[in-house]
Amino acid sequence: MSPRPSPRRRPTGRAASGFVLLLLTTGAAQAAPPTPGDGLFISPFGEPFRSRAGLADWFSGADSDRDASVSPAEFRADGLRFLSRLDTNRDGRVDGFENTAYENEVAPEILPQSAVFRSDRPDGGGPAPRARGLEGAASFGLLDEPQPVRGADLNYDGKITADEQSKAAARRFALLDPEATGRLSLSVLQARLKAREAPPAGVGRFFRRRPD
């Protein structure tokens, strides 16, 4: 008769504590990390607002006279304010080094290698932004501009001046105000953002029309 196998011993004392710690550590490692793009809004000028009310936060800051609308002058002022923030050496323009700092430190989510653009995102909450036909900052904003800071470089010299930022502001305001009312309202912009975020279905995903 073969010997009976001895019963498996339960870990006790330090062994038990170590076993529990191992389980907790393994569980934490397997937990889905937060999605970088969750609750992210990027303004028409490229400024990130990391909250679920990001659009409203940006709008409130741009609406300097608190009349529940943003005028062309307020819109331009907001763009110049953000340009000044990026101009760290205070020479009146944003150069290539400051642009790189913007991409890597201020709004890294717009870069192609960002986790928000991976097709195997761990959140499981829907298609990655690129699956909707959007790239870079366009995935989190109101306009189809993957890099809004570089997008203001009208003469392609690698530097953005206040004059170029002002001209970019006029162009972008016109895109956001197709009826030429001279005012931007939060409700209209929210509807626009919602339309951009909606994933297309069926054949429509290959022929998606963006609202800009």
**pLDDT surpassing 80 at residue 28:** no
**pLDDT surpassing 70 at residue 46:** yes
- What is the tens place of the pLDDT at every residue in 81-94? 999 999 999 999 99
Containing 98, the helix (H) or strand (E) segment is: helix 96-101
81 three-class SS: helix
What pLDDT shows up at residue 86? 98
Rounded to a whole number, what is the distance in angstroms from the first to the last CA of the chain? 82
Q: How far is Cα 149 from Cα 195, in angstroms, rounded to an integer?
A: 24
Instruction: Please work out, in degrees rounded to the nearest 5, the angle formed at the alpha carbon of residue 38 by the alpha carbons of 35 and 44.
Output: 130
Q: Give me the chain's average pLDDT, please.
A: 79
Q: What is the DSSP letter of 3?
A: P
What pLDDT shows up at residue 113? 63
Q: How far is Cα 35 from Cα 51, in angstroms, rounded to an integer?
A: 12
Within 85-142, strands assigned E span: 93-94
- What is the tens place of the pLDDT at every residue in 121-142? 444 444 445 445 678 999 999 9
What pLDDT shows up at residue 1? 52
DSSP string, 26-48: HHHHHSPPPPTTTTEEE-TTS-E
What pLDDT shows up at residue 201? 60
pLDDT-based confidence at residue 45 (cuts at 50, 70, 90): very high
Please classify residue 149 by burial: count the beta carbons closer than 10 Å to its beta carbon, then call 0-12 exposed, 13-18 middle and 19+ buried: buried
pTM summary value: 0.72
Q: How far is Cα 39 from Cα 32, in angstroms, rounded to an integer?
A: 16
pLDDT-based confidence at residue 44 (cuts at 50, 70, 90): very high
Specify the range with the lowest mean pLDDT, choosing from 29-38, 46-55, 82-91. 29-38
Whether 109 contacts 37, CB under 8 Å: yes
**pLDDT surpassing 70 at residue 188:** yes
